[in-house]
Amino acid sequence: MNPENLKYSKEHEWARVEGSTVVVGITQFAAEQLGDVVYVDLPEAGSDIEQFGKFGEIESVKTVSDLFSPVGGKIVEVNDSVKDSPEKVNEDTYGEGWLLKIEISDPGQLDALMDAAGYESLTAE
């Protein structure tokens, strides 16, 4: 269920490396735990974020959770379409439901993330 080509954080965010840019979103597991997402609060493009730093909030019919970035760097693009259509986070978690694109400050940060198998064993607990 979790794509093999992604990296995962223990805070249930995924990271997809595209050159020097990393696309970030929340995992399918997180989306299912949250239930129907109704609101996503994202930062402005252009700001800096630290690895595992809080970058926003996500609200579902059940709860509100903080969002933590799996990598640090400069936020180059924000998916504004999920602000208007938060259901994308549930419906296409690893596609149109992406949240940020970050120009990673140090690719070594990726070593602190899990692969799909590692994340699967985390969520199986």
Partner 1 sequence: MTTSNTANELDRRLLMDRSVPGRTAVTLPPSDVPEQDMPQESLLRDDLPLPEVSQLEVIRYFSLLSQLNFSIDTNFYPLGSCTMKYNPKLNDAMASLPGFAGIHPNQPSDQVQGAVQLMHELQELLGDLTGLPGVSLAPLAGAQGEYAGLLIARAYHASRNDSARTVALIPDSAHGTNPASAAMAGLEVVTVPSASDGNVDVNALRDLADERTAVFMLTLPSTLGLFEPSILEITQIVHDAGGLVYADGANLNALLGIAKLGDLGFDICHSNLHKTFSTPHGGGGPGSGPVMVTDELAKFLPEPVATRNGDSYTLSEPESSIGKINGFHGSFGILVRAYTYIRAMGRDGLKSAAENAIINANYIQSQLKDSFDLAADRYCMHETVLSASRQKKRGVKGLDIAKRLLDHGIHAPTMYFPLIVDEALMVEPTETESKETLDHFIEVMRQIDDEITSDPETVQTAPHTLPVTRLDEAAAARKPYLRWQG
Residues numbered 64-93 forming contacts with partner 1, rule: CB under 8 A: 64, 86-87
Q: How many H helices and E strands in the chain?
A: 4, 9
**Cα 38 from Cα 45, distance rounded (Å):** 22
**Cα 13 from Cα 28, distance rounded (Å):** 9
Count of residues touching partner 1 (by CB under 8 A): 12
> Nearest distance from residue 39's CB to partner 1, in Å?
7
Residues numbered 26-55 forming contacts with partner 1, rule: CB under 8 A: 35-39
> Nearest distance from residue 8's CB to partner 1, in Å?
20
124 forms part of the interface with partner 1 (CB under 8 A): no
